[in-house]
Structure 1
């Protein structure tokens, strides 16, 4: 379930309360009149079943509350209530299929921001990847995968394409198009310094067969990118954040960028081009898979979605914990 918190202008509170009371997926409804200071108004709170949140939020938006008040939604870690169980059962659709689009938009918008922190993490990840390539260390390469923050803008790009939110698309593309070159230029400077000190040699990189997978593009490169992108998007829309770690370790976006830089400094142009190809394949695969997952999820006004309708057709029933 989700916790809904609304600052409502006094003249709209009665209509909002009727809306919540009539909604089968809303429960634990409370009202505190006149307690909101900025903006001024009444405080209305409720717990809402995920599968019914989209339509409820759309109706609240239609009342004009965001313009004069405010709406806040957040996850509930645990709830012990028969009323909450009934709300989940009465709400249309399946909780496992539910995507709260407003929350997803908010989360991905934040993750797609081009800022110093994002650039710093991506730069550190590329530096780790370059070290892993130069020392033939898969463990260091895996560390670079985990540190890399690039999945945030990629997920936001998928959401933007799905919802035709071109502002989010531009924001995500800008973050990737600016941060990757900056990270690679910094890594280029560091790599040239390491070569000057003799820490990196052409022979050492050529003989580093434990990390050949980074630049060797094959059919499984796209397959892995598609699977990782699908798993990553599912982890976002179902709040299974632990699965993202597996996604980070699966894809070779940052390692490919780091390998390309090292290969260029050593004059290994064929490996550099192959690494760039690996990077492009992984980026494209993640975005395509993310869009595909979102296409299967229910949208506002469509509680079941394609997966839910398939379950109904084959007679499957979701058993909810009591």
Structure 2
């Protein structure tokens, strides 16, 4: 269940309460009259079944509540209520199929912001990938995949494409187009330092076994990227973030970037090109598959707010 909080002018609270009272997936509607100061008005709260939340938010936004007030949702971890349980049973559909569009926009929007934390994680991931290649350590490469934050911008591109959110698309593209060059340049600089210190030699790339998948492009490069994109978007829209860890591990993005840097420093431009192609294939495959999956998911559960209408992109 989700906790719904609506702030609206006093002359609109009656229609909000009336609407919530007719929804089968809503329970425990509470009205606090006159407590809001900006805007001046009432606060209406309720609990909503996750599978009904998208429709409830969409219809409230169509009433103009989000323009003159506020609509917010918060997950409820523990709720003991027979009325709420009945509302959850009576709401059509399944919780696992629920796609709450504004929640998805807010999540991907936050994860695709380019900031020191994002750049730090991506750079650390690229350095870990380079270390994994030098030591031919699959475990270190897996660690680099887990640390990498690049699925956020890729998911944001999918959300932007489906919802026609141009600002979100620009933000995600900037995060990828700036983040990867920065991470790779820092990795290249430290690789040169390692080379001068005798920690890295060109011959270290000659006999790789565990790390060879990083740069070897083949049919499975495309297949894995597509499957990862599908799994990632299903996990994101089903509120199952733990599944995303498996998605991170399956995608050869950061390891390919790290290998490309090492190959460039070593003067092995052939394998540098292969690794760069592997990176491009994985980024493109994940993004395309995530977009197609989201299109299918939204068609299955019904339309959310029309592009450019309804609630504005949630602020963070």
TM-score (norm 2): 0.92
The runs of 5 or more residues in structure 2 that have no matched partner are 304-316
* 1:300 CA drift (Å): 9.9
**1:119 & 1:189 partners in 2: Cα distance?**
16
1:159–1:291: 8 Å Cα contact kept in structure 2? yes
* 1:36 CA drift (Å): 2.4
Question: Per-residue displacement from partner, 1:152-211 (whole Å, max 9, x unpaired)?
Answer: 000011111111222211111111001100111111100011011110011122122220
Aligned to 2:314: none
Question: What SS does the aligned partner of 1:210 have?
Answer: coil
RMSD (Å), alpha carbons: 1.5
* 1:16 CA drift (Å): 0.6
* 1:125 CA drift (Å): 0.6
The runs of 5 or more residues in structure 1 that have no matched partner are 304-322
Aligned to 1:64: 64
Question: Per-residue displacement from partner, 1:254-295 (whole Å, max 9, x unpaired)?
Answer: 010000000000011111000011101111111111112212
**2:248 & 2:116 partners in 1: Cα distance?**
21
Q: Does 1:290 align with 2:290?
A: yes
TM-score (norm 1): 0.90
After superposition, the Cα gap between the structure-2 partners of 1:301 and 1:150, relative to the gap in structure 1 and judged at 3 Å, is closer
Question: What SS does the aligned partner of 1:298 have?
Answer: helix
**1:302 & 1:253 partners in 2: Cα distance?**
33
Which range moved further: 240-249 or 81-90?
A: 81-90
**1:157-168 → structure 2 map (5 Å cutoff):** 157-168=157-168
**1:138-157 → structure 2 map (5 Å cutoff):** 138-157=138-157
**1:293 & 1:12 partners in 2: Cα distance?**
37
Aligned to 1:127: 127
* 1:140 CA drift (Å): 1.2
1:40–1:69: 8 Å Cα contact kept in structure 2? no
**1:37-76 → structure 2 map (5 Å cutoff):** 37-76=37-76
* 1:136 CA drift (Å): 1.2
* 1:299 CA drift (Å): 5.2
Question: What SS does the aligned partner of 2:55 have?
Answer: helix
Aligned to 1:25: 25
Q: Does 1:95 align with 2:99?
A: no
**1:178 & 1:124 partners in 2: Cα distance?**
15
* 1:93 CA drift (Å): 2.4
